[in-house]
Copies of this chain bind each other. A is one copy, B any other.
């Protein structure tokens, strides 16, 4: 790096040609408080459409806001109905076997899976703003309900209490989801980053697959734990109990399901093959068992399913029992997880089709469908990715496809449940495994490693936590690492030296732009984060070290000694009182060393606070410039024209301390 040549303005008062740095006009406290509240909770300004409308129009718009069906319903066409009919029937064929499988995963009666595909989709069709979301139960939340409630109540010993706890947990999950939406706290879901969800979903899928070893191998006894070590120990400690009939059947069906998925993936036109495959395996499996009487030779079957629609369950809530806390805790955790999946799925498909969904509105919709669902024998539902993808591929146009699915499930509940009597459990396990394999997104993990190592650590933290400890532990690890990253960003901000880009007044990081030139006698530092209590000590140390190093370097090369230190404040979004104290201390340090401290481009918030704390007076208004270029020009001007005065004019203020 060489030294650039400068041209200095010929006027004696350099300052006049520089731009002044503005202190933003003072705002009344309550106005700025109101503004920041609005930015925090209403970033999308949902009330904008209500402006300048008559009261009756406002009421109708408000109703439309909560019931989007009033908006798209009147515009619904026969063309739409045809598409929705096809996609609705397709997802119903997936919903029935998946519903039964996931209910088994939660240790709940299989029929609940069907109940849960009937009421909630109807509610969502009215309230949801996504056109592609297909409502139903999900594997991960089902597993979580099974493991969390299972810790307190044994599902086989006390099935009634367990069932009632599941309803209560679903109720609280819905309540939490709807409240988050109503209170505009949807951003809590944002703290589950993409990396967290990739790792978490992969881990949960691994755990769910491991659980299926019970069904595939036809084991009677199995561990209650979900971690990989307990499960593998449980599987391999009873090798003599493995049932080969069950294993072979499972392997054959799994192969068929994977093959159909592979085929559909290759040719998207044949998406319906993989969509229909689960129902096909159920029918084939049931027929096989019925014809060979395999249920008497070690192949477990579902058995009797009650005919009829959802019985009411709001009388079953256990609000008074000592298990209430378990139900609340389970509801909170599963509710958040289910919400995150539903919102992410809705948002992804909205992105594809170029419409946008309102996260908070979606939360209210998902929450309401769970609250209502819990009153009618449904357990936790959301918008599962697999089912929504099938819905999307089948060409659904509106949420009406959910209604079609619900009607198909209703028909099944009323007339077809006896047909599932001979359905072998191993088929259900094969369906679950095949669905779960799609959730282990190792390619996304590789992408994370390539682009952002920290995100990869978050992802692996979630995966390892879920697989080796438990679902909750994995989640806590991932969120903790993610939050730690945010804190580290603030606690250890990047600081770097700027240099002059040749033939310009632009100053950029010397590391990023190796062609930049040093500016003799001036050290330009950029601070890349807000100056807060969490980093003020660090910044003081780091800035001192930059100055030390620069002085050492200049001494060793025998160049002009250091005279000015310029802080580029462009990236300092805010400052607090600890940060201001830090600046005051740095000012003392530079004064003591005979250096002049100069600020460049402090933002509105920073200027406001520096002004209020009188730091602008301490440093001198004439030492704050609008750009680094102007600051350097001014320093150079002083350095070359009035050197003896420049460093002494108001130095050594520590005598007054």
Contacts and interface: CB of A to CB of B under 8 A. Distances in A.
Contacts of A195: 533, 576-578
Interface of A: 19, 22, 24-25, 29, 33, 39-40, 43-45, 186-187, 190-196, 351-352, 354, 356, 359, 447-448, 450-455, 482-483, 485-494, 501, 504, 506, 508-509, 511-514, 528-530, 532-538, 541-542, 544-545, 570-574, 576-578, 580-581, 585, 588, 592, 603-605, 607, 609, 612-613, 626-627, 654, 657
Nearest to A198: B577
A578 B193 contact: yes
Given A195-B577, A195-B578, A571-B573, A487 B491 contact: no
Contacts of A541: 43-44
Among all A-B residue pairs, the 10 with the closest Cβ atoms: A193-B533, A512-B604, A528-B573, A571-B571, A44-B541, A194-B578, A451-B613, A451-B612, A455-B577, A43-B541
Contact of A490 (B19, B490, B577): B490
B513 A22 contact: yes
A592 B355 CA distance: 11
Given A190-B536, A352-B657, A570 B573 contact: no
A626 B356 CA distance: 32
Contacts of A22: 512-514
17 contacts: A187-B538, A190-B533, A190-B537, A191-B534, A194-B577, A195-B533, A196-B533, A354-B588, A455-B576, A485-B532, A485-B576, A489-B532, A494-B605, A501-B626, A508-B626, A529-B530, A529-B573
Given A573-B571, A578-B194, A501 B19 contact: yes
Contacts of A613: 447, 450-451
Given A43-B492, A512-B604, A533-B191, A577 B448 contact: yes
A504 B533 CA distance: 36
A612 B578 contact: no
B451 A190 contact: no
A654 B354 contact: yes
Given A190-B538, A494-B573, A604-B511, A453 B29 contact: yes
Contacts of A612: 450-451
A486 B452 contact: no
B483 A487 contact: yes
Given A537-B187, A537-B359, A489 B573 contact: yes
A514 to B, nearest CB: 8
A171 B39 CA distance: 48
